[in-house]
Amino acid sequence: MLYEFSVHQIPNRLTAVSMHNRLRAAKAPVVVMGRFYSAMIERGLWVTQKELAAGLGVSTAHTSRMLAVARLPTVLLDAIADKPLSAAQVATLHALMRQVGEKLISERAASLPPGSTTADIFAFLTTGQCPPRKAVSVSVARGKKGGKNYLRIDTSDFASVASRVSEIELLVNVLLATDYRRGGDAGIPPAKLEG
C-alpha cells in the first residue's frame, strides 16, 4: 500500500487528521505511520511532537515511537515497509544500529533476500547470514473416518523433493528402525511414502 504525503495530497491539518484516521483504520505498517508523522513535522503542519500528538489525538509516547521508526535508514525502511513491527522490534533495530553501526546495518538491509520474513530480517541484520532454508515441513494428515493416516510433506520446491522420494523413504525407515532397536514401538512396520 503506497501513500503520498505531499503538500498536494495533504495541504492542511484537517486533511492530515483525515489521512491519519484512514491510515489507522487500514492498520498501516509502522513504517508508513512513521513516514507520515515525520512528513507532517517536516512540512511544519505541527511544529513539535507534542503538538502533533495533540492534533492527531494520540499520545506523545506513540508519536515518539513513530518518529523513531522514520529515523531508521531509508534502505532499512524499504526492507521492513510491509512488516507489522512492534515497538520492541523498532527499539531492537535502533539498538542494533548502535551496536553494529548504521553503515553495516544499511549494507545488510540492502542485500536482504526478497520475501524475507521478519524473523529472517532480524537474523540477517544481526549476523549478516541468511538463516538456513527450511525446504519441507512434515505433518500428520488424518484419513477419512477410520481410514489410514498419512505423513504429509509440504514444500515450495516440489520437483526437488519429489525426485528424492526414495531417499526420504529410506531415511524415515532408518529412523523407525533405530527407534525399534532402542525399545520403541514394537511391531511398527517400515514406513511407505506415497508419492
Choices 2.40.128, 1.10.3470, 1.10.10, 1.10.20: CATH for 13-127: 1.10.10
Nearest Cα to 56, choosing from 26, 16, 22? Answer: 16
Domain(s) of CATH 1.10.10: residues in the chain:
13-127
Predicted pLDDT of residue 134: 67
pTM, entire model: 0.61
For 104-122, what is each residue's pLDDT tens digit? 999 999 988 877 888 888 8
Kindly state the helix (H) or strand (E) to which residue 154 belongs, with its residue range.
Answer: strand 150-155
Helices (H) and strands (E) in the chain, counts: 10, 2
Q: Where in the chain does DSSP place strands (E)?
A: 136-141, 150-155
Mind listing the pLDDT tens digit of every residue in the chain (195 residues)?
Answer: 467 788 889 999 999 999 999 999 998 888 899 999 999 999 999 999 999 999 999 999 999 989 999 999 989 988 888 888 887 888 889 888 888 889 999 999 998 887 788 888 888 888 888 766 666 788 888 878 777 888 888 887 788 788 888 888 888 877 777 766 556 554 555 555 554
CA 124 to chain centre: 12
CA 23 to chain centre: 20
